[in-house]
Amino acid sequence: MGNELTEPRPDDQASTGGGGAVETDAQTAPKPTRQRTSKRRVYVGVGIGVAALALTLVTIVVLDQVTRVSVPAVEQQTVTDATTTLRDLGLEVEIRTDESFCEEDERGGKFCIVTSQTPSAEERVHADELVMLDVIPSEVSVPTLEGLTFADAVRAGADVAIDVRSIDITDSVVDGHEGWKVLEQSERGSVNAGSTVEVTLERPLADAPPVVGATLQGASDALTAAGFEVVIVKDPGAKHDPSWVVTATDPAIVDGKLPVASIVRLSWGVQLPNVVGMTDLAATSALTNAKVTATGSKSSSQLVAVQDPAAGTIVEPGSTVTITLEPPSTVYEVVSNGSRATITWVPPNSYNISQAGDAPLPWRMSWPTASGYRNFNAQSMDGTSITCNIYVNGQLLKTATSTGRYAVVSCG
């Protein structure tokens, strides 16, 4: 019995698949279930990660939007108002302008306006982002300044960011100019803030010495002593010649008065000296020193017979004066306290001896030359003193005197 074989049941075969396959099927049957579970876990983990990432991104976007601010419109606002509005939102502000008034003047905040902005209005930006503002000076109305004192005019201009200045820069150095009245103003209507308006002030009058006709140096000294500043038109820049006289003043001296501390411009001319009778060289030198030009000169020792214009005429500096010279001459002369003499002479440029016995005195003889004079002598016939002279072109070049009864004198 123990050796009987038991046939397997068909059901067993069917359930096991027969033979040795029973053990293999029994070992591997649970594996498909475990793999499916593992994959599901992976998919679930990935899904959770994606969802978390998406949530993070959404959170970042939401937070970014929450931390942004909308840029307000500030165009046409003053720089001060625009800057205050933007900085209250935590935004940084930078000004762009070509006008130094808007950039450097403390009044620019009130009197400069925004023309454009970057970023533009309603853009959303982070709270610390930079907003660029382009600005220009605003237009302001020029107040009426005429009739005001200079000090009041300056204050009226400052109220609207206008600089008021005197058109005459010397006004500012005169004590009390703040109280002078404004006579005229350079601008009216509207101008840009930061502009300058020039005004003409009414200076009070002060005593001024009459200087027309006075020497240039004397007039300059007198006006300076009276508190005026002197400017000489075409100043020669040298020691003033006495022949230079004042012909006009600017401003004109009216009734002995000029605006206080004025700049007085002196026009002048040359009052021609009298050069008739001077030698050519001396006359030319005198006219040159007087700042006029001499024509007709021969750079000689001849005497001037005529000058044109005449002496005393006032002409412009640099004018021309024509001189006419006497012809060249050499003169022999004898004078004495007696009435008659014997005279012997040799003419200029000659060796011929001539003599006049018992010649009446004074005696003169001339020749039309300025060179080659010779000697001559004379003897008194009835006097106690006798003199001989030689003149060349009117200049005494030789002289001699002898005394005594029948005295003899020689110029040779």
For 305-329, how does the pLDDT look when each residue is reduced to its tens digit (9 = 90+)? 999 999 999 999 999 999 999 899 9
Q: How far apart are CA 297 and CA 289, in angstroms?
A: 15
Q: Which residues of the chain have pLDDT under 50?
A: 1-10, 12-24, 26, 28
Q: Which residues contact 227 (CB under 8 A, 6 or more apart)?
A: 206, 260, 261
Predicted structure pTM score:
0.53
pLDDT of residue 285: 94
Helix, coil or strand: residue 37: helix
pLDDT of residue 387: 98
Return the sign of the alpha-carbon dihedral for residues 359, 364, 369, 371.
positive
Q: How far apart are CA 163 and CA 160, in angstroms?
A: 9
Give me the residue label for tokens 């038109």: 233
pLDDT of residue 46: 73
